[in-house]
């Protein structure tokens, strides 16, 4: 019942905003409604089991109220069957290049292109984006962008409840994190980041990492290394990295506009012995895009090979989690 009420309220809000925009479309930039629908079929070769799922179904709205204030709201209608409120935030821009966001928003740790369904290169997230920590929290986040010569620079810093989303708990120790970014999404870009997460007596993490990305109009390569250190004995440390690349080939077809082969190698470790990472994974993918935006709506075919040297607790939920898998995904974005 609560999910239905959330959805009705959200749709009414969207309708109101679009009507207001039509009434005064020249005063401020347009409000934008966006969403994504991620449907999958998976076959696990080691168990012979398969399943269909709606992995994500998101709808959101963002807009500019005036040159000082803007907002973002986003709902997850089905995250493996669960309803979630994702983004609920307002942003103030008091100075050129400075943006201060208050509410429920992303923490300054992850690259959105490995955690956001609409921008992911593969059907399944990299280990870094899935097993380290929640990507959102309630708090305040400041971003400041400027240039040093021709080099774009962005600084991010935030203070958060440290209890993930939709849970405004009282805390005497808040989470905090920061990020430094040099470069832009076109050409070369490098970032370094850290996040301190004292959730409770047993779950206390310090996470840090760095990444490098290079992109042209049709090709991109990305790599990232991240470590999560546990301050208690209740959890193990984690170390993970990935390197992934894709190329966008334009296709003359009445069905598809581009073909996108992609390749990823990622690994994760918690034992830190000399034999290498506990679990390695090679993912190959071939996608067919059909909305003329390159890396957006796509019919994708992926295959994952798992190389397991040591069993890890994060894969213990079911035997399919670290089984070789074939996945067919239809991702629709709007």
The domains of the chain are located at 31-333
Strand 258-269 and strand 279-289: pairing? antiparallel
Distance CA 267, CA 238 (A): 11
Pick 31-333's CATH classification: 3.90.1260.10, 3.40.190.10, 2.60.200.30, 2.40.160.10: 2.40.160.10
Cα–Cα nearest to 193, from 218, 140, 156: 156
Burial 214-253 (b: 16+ CB within 10 A, else e): bbeeeebebbbebbbebeeeebeebbbbbbbbbebeeeee
Question: Per-residue pLDDT for 3 more than 60?
Answer: no
50 vs 16, more confident: 50
Distance CA 278, CA 205 (A): 20
Which residue reads 């990492």 in tokens? 209
Task: Find how far residue 223's CA is from the centre of its chain.
Answer: 15
Q: What is the DSSP letter of 315?
A: G
Q: Which pLDDT does position 20 carry in this prediction?
A: 44
Q: What DSSP string describes 206-224? A: EEEEEEEEEE-SSEEEEEE
Express each pLDDT in 220-244 by its tens digit: 999 999 999 999 999 999 999 999 9
CB atoms within 10 A of CB 165: 18
β-bridge partners, 197: 205
Q: Which pLDDT does position 68 carry in this prediction?
A: 93
Express each pLDDT in 167-206 by its tens digit: 898 999 999 999 999 999 999 999 999 999 999 999 999 9
Express each pLDDT in 258-317 by its tens digit: 999 999 999 999 988 877 899 999 999 999 998 765 456 899 999 999 999 999 999 989
Distance CA 93, CA 68 (A): 5
Where are the strands (E) in the chain, listed by range? 32-44, 49-64, 69-79, 82-95, 98-106, 136-148, 151-160, 175-183, 187-198, 204-215, 219-230, 238-247, 249-250, 258-269, 279-289, 298-308, 325-333
Cα–Cα nearest to 79, from 43, 106, 107, 115: 115
CB 196 within 8 A of CB 172: no
Token pair of 289 as six digits: 């895009």
β-bridge partners, 137: 105
Mean pLDDT for the stretch of residues 240-263:
93
């Amino acid at each position: 019942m609560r999910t239905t009420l959330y959805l009705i309220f959200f749709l009414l809000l969207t309708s109101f905003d679009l009507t207001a925009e039509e009434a005064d479309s020249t005063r401020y930039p347009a409000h934008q409604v966006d969403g994504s629908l991620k449907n999958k079929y998976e076959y696990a070769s080691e168990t012979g089991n398969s399943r269909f799922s709606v992995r994500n179904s998101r709808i959101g709205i963002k807009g500019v109220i005036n040159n000082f204030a803007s907002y973002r709201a986003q709902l997850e209608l089905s995250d493996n069957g669960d309803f979630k409120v994702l983004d609920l935030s307002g942003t103030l821009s008091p100075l050129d290049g400075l943006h201060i966001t208050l509410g429920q928003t992303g923490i300054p740790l992850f690259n959105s292109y490995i955690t956001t369904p609409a921008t992911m290169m593969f059907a399944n997230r990299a280990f870094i984006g899935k097993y380290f920590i929640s990507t959102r929290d309630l708090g305040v986040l400041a971003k400041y962008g400027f240039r040093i010569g021709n080099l774009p620079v962005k600084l991010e810093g935030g203070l958060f409840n440290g209890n993930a989303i939709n849970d405004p708990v009282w805390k005497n120790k808040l989470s905090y994190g920061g990020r430094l970014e040099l470069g832009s999404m076109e050409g070369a870009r490098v970032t370094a980041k850290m996040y301190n997460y004292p959730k409770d007596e047993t779950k206390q993490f310090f996470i840090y990492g760095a990444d490098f990305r290079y992109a042209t109009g049709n090709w991109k390569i990305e790599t990232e290394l991240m470590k999560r250190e546990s301050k208690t004995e209740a959890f193990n440390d984690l170390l993970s990295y990935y390197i992934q690349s894709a190329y966008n080939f334009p296709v003359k077809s009445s069905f598809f506009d581009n073909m996108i082969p992609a390749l990823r190698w990622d690994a994760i470790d918690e034992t830190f012995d000399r034999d290498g990472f506990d679990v390695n994974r090679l993912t190959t993918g071939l996608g067919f895009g059909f909305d003329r935006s390159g890396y957006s709506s796509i019919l994708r075919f992926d295959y994952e090979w798992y190389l397991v040297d040591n069993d890890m607790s994060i894969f213990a939920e079911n035997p399919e989690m670290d089984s070789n898998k074939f996945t067919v995904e239809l991702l629709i974005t709007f």
